[in-house]
């Protein structure tokens, strides 16, 4: 299964405590910085925007820093967006995903800052789903050494892609709901009701994935970058990322050769690419190994090319594509 490493409990507890302090900084009366008295919420990118819109509904005005079609990892903050952060009643972001956003949020001075990374347990996932270590073996070749170094580097990176696990995303939704209740107590009952409805929908999606991926011909899938570690961990799959957690990192020749061997050994039929990042390496690998290509969307943004209009629809498309590639029965 996927390699994972839990973030130390003490560090997580401290982060949650810090987040709670930020959330309670706003006192008593509801903030009304939004248009027409609505709560002004600034979301860093689509998964945060979706939560704010689903939970806030008519009581919030949601703006997003990452426009449709922009790769979130590459986002640069404009002066206008910096000012927007300072005027927001609530900022909803995911620390460590977008360095430019992290810096701007710290400098914003906003009273209610919600870091989604503090609302669930973070893990570390390597680009490789299998253990490629060769401890105890003598006479390592240069290629074997490169494999080991690649695996170690991948395993060390904290994975921010928590929204691709519906169960973890539901945990984040609950935290966001509580944050909106505190920021706008006049509408707390509505936020609570909307949160419960969203969590039920996400739990239903989790069940669909569990049932849909229970019996498959293979458990291994190859994707452009290692965004699906939480999804793979949840549903008993093995993710093999061409690049690491960062979609812009270039795979080494040794990694590409390693993936060719994985595809043969694990009966992989498909190499997945995504809509917002280059599909060059995925198509190269597919051509070299005689595999098909398909879309597995990391849901970092919704565009006209997305296989669905919102988070739930695109996740269901991902499920269908995985079922087809893995030979679900």
Q: Decide if pLDDT at 74 tops 90.
A: no
Q: Which of 75-79, 171-175, 240-244, 271-275 has the lowest mean pLDDT?
A: 240-244
User: Do 282 and 185 belong to one domain?
Assistant: no
Cut 0.85: pTM above it: no
Tokens of 168: 């973890």
Average pLDDT, the chain: 82
With bands split at pLDDT 50, 70 and 90, how would you rate the model's confidence at 286?
confident
User: Do 41 and 94 belong to one domain?
Assistant: yes
Q: 157-186 as b/e, with b when 16 or more CB fall inside 10 Å?
A: bebbbbbbbbbbbbbbbbbbbbbbbbbbee
pLDDT at 288: 81
User: Do 88 and 144 belong to one domain?
Assistant: no
Q: Which of 282, 275, 329, 283 is nearest to 303 (CA)?
A: 275
Total domains present in the chain: 2
User: Do 309 and 202 belong to one domain?
Assistant: no
User: Do 186 and 318 belong to one domain?
Assistant: no
The average pLDDT across 227-238 equals 96
User: Do 149 and 183 belong to one domain?
Assistant: no
Please give the residue range of the domain that contains residue 59. Answer: 4-122+160-207
**In angstroms, rounded to a whole number, what is the distance separating the alpha carbons of residues 297 and 295?**
6
User: Do 110 and 30 belong to one domain?
Assistant: yes
pLDDT at 277: 65
- Note the Cα 228 to chain centre separation in Å: 8
Q: In the 8-state DSSP scheme, what is residue 277? A: S
Backbone angles phi, psi at 314, to 5 degrees: -70, -40
pLDDT at 154: 39
User: Do 114 and 131 belong to one domain?
Assistant: no
Q: Which of 24-33, 88-97, 119-128 has the lowest mean pLDDT?
A: 24-33
The average pLDDT across 167-173 equals 98
Instruction: For the chain, give the percent of residues with pLDDT over 90.
Output: 61
């Amino acid at each position: 299964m996927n390699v994972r490493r839990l973030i130390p409990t003490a560090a997580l507890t401290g982060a949650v405590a810090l987040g709670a302090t930020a959330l309670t900084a706003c006192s008593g009366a509801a903030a009304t910085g939004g248009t027409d008295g609505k709560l002004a919420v600034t979301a860093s990118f689509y998964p945060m925007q979706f939560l704010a819109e689903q939970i806030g509904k008519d009581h919030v005005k949601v703006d997003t820093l990452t426009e449709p079609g922009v790769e979130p990892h590459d986002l640069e903050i404009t002066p206008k967006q910096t000012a927007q952060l300072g005027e927001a009643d609530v900022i909803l972001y995911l620390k460590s995903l977008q360095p430019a956003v992290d810096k701007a949020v710290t400098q914003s001075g906003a009273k209610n800052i919600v870091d989604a990374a503090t609302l669930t347990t973070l893990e570390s996932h390597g680009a490789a789903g299998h253990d490629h270590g060769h401890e105890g073996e003598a006479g390592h070749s240069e290629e074997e050494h490169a494999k080991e170094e690649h695996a170690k580097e991948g395993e060390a990176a904290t994975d921010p892609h928590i929204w691709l696990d519906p169960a973890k995303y539901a945990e984040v939704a609950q935290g966001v709901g509580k944050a909106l209740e505190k920021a706008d107590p006049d509408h707390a009952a509505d936020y609570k009701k909307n949160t419960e409805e969203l969590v039920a929908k996400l739990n239903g999606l989790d069940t669909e994935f569990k049932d849909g991926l229970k019996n498959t011909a293979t458990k291994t899938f190859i994707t452009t970058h290692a965004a699906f570690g939480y999804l793979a961990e949840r549903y008993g799959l093995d993710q093999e990322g061409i690049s690491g957690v960062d979609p812009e990192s270039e795979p080494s020749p040794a990694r590409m050769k390693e993936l060719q061997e994985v595809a043969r050994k694990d009966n992989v039929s498909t190499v997945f690419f995504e809509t917002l990042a280059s599909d060059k390496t995925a198509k190269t690998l597919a051509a070299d190994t005689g595999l098909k290509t398909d879309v597995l969307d990391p849901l970092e943004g919704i565009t006209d090319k997305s296989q669905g209009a919102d988070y739930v629809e695109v996740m269901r498309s991902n499920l269908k594509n995985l079922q087809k590639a893995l030979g679900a029965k």
